[in-house]
Amino acid sequence: GAGVSQSPRYKVAKRGQDVALRCDPISGHVSLFWYQQALGQGPEFLTYFQNEAQLDKSGLPSDRFFAERPEGSVSTLKIQRTQQEDSAVYLCASSPIRYEQYFGPGTRLTVT
Amino acid sequence: KNEVEQSPQNLTAQEGEFITINCSYSVGISALHWLQQHPGGGIVSLFMLSSGKKKHGRLIATINIQEKHSSLHITASHPRDSAVYICAVFTGNQFYFGTGTSLTVIP
């Protein structure tokens, strides 16, 4: 069916607020990746799931960042106590096999 | 340190010109991707390469594994080609992305 979808597309949060970003991958895709893209930069890896298992979270910048994919499909990236440096586009990608990537449109987070 | 370097960072071309964007990487890879990102953030995969050359319409991508280098060529460029082009490599464990080349094609 449809491609990868993300919601919300835009989020403005006051510093200190918690936010939750959602990713709906392509149905049947085993792998799911989260990336953070700062303005003018390429995406930076945050975390990777294979089904419901979070196999790599080495890119999460701090313990304020948490991601889950409890049923192996939809994933949520949660950022607690947002800071201004968290402002970025958060991209989700899913794939049927690891070396392919199908990207969502991203969520632009602005922390004021 | 950047595992993936792209050049140029910015490129302006006249419609119809032949365009080349270069990507060099420093890690061992199992695949290299060329991605296109339009304003608004959406990313589209153009090519996935592990060797040789691929062509799709006016786009051509080449890779030299020994030299750790890839190029993306656009023939007969058009204003709708204006976008950021990102090179990404997959090491077997992780993706690394270049910072992108911002292309503007002027009518």
- Tell me: the pLDDT tens digits for A26-53? 999 999 999 999 988 889 999 999 999 9
Q: pLDDT (tens digit, 0 to 9) for every residue of chain B, 107 residues total?
A: 689 999 999 999 999 999 999 999 999 998 999 999 987 768 888 999 999 999 999 999 999 999 999 999 999 999 999 999 999 998 877 889 999 999 999 99
CB-based contact B42 A105, cutoff 8 Å: yes
Please check whether residue B107 touches A, CB under 8 A.
no
Q: Please list the residues that pair with A37 across neighbouring strands.
A: A89
> What pLDDT does residue A40 have?
83
pLDDT at A5: 95
Q: Does A49 touch chain B (CB under 8 A)?
A: no
Residue spans of beta strands (DSSP E) within chain A: 5-7, 10-13, 19-24, 31-37, 44-50, 53-56, 65-68, 75-79, 88-95, 102-103, 107-111
Question: Quick check: B41 contacting A, CB < 8 Å?
Answer: yes
Kindly give, in sequence order, each residue whose CB lies less than 8 Å from that of residue B43, ignoring residues fewer than 6 positions away: A43, A91, A93, A103, A106, B35, B36, B37, B86
Distance CA B107, CA B102 (A): 16
Residue of B nearest to A48 (CA): B94
| Minimum Cα–Cα distance from B29: chain A residue | A99
What pLDDT score does B2 carry?
83
Q: Which strands form B4-7's sheet, in the order they lie side by side?
A: B4-7, B19-25, B69-74, B59-64, B52-56
User: Where do runs of H (alpha helix) occur along chain B?
Assistant: none
Asked whether the beta carbons of residue B98 and residue A42 sit closer than 8 angstroms, the reply is: yes
Residue (of B39, B23, B40, B32) closest to B104 by Cα position: B39
A16: left (phi over 0), alpha (psi -120 to 50) or beta: left
pLDDT of residue A39: 86
Cβ of B94 within 8 Å of Cβ of A45? The answer is yes
Q: Chain A partners of B43 at a C-beta cutoff of 8 Å?
A: 43, 91, 93, 103, 106
Task: Please state the separation of Cα A67 from the chain's center in Å.
Answer: 8
Task: For residue B83, give Cα distances in angstroms to A23, A34, B9, B100, B102.
Answer: 24, 22, 12, 10, 6
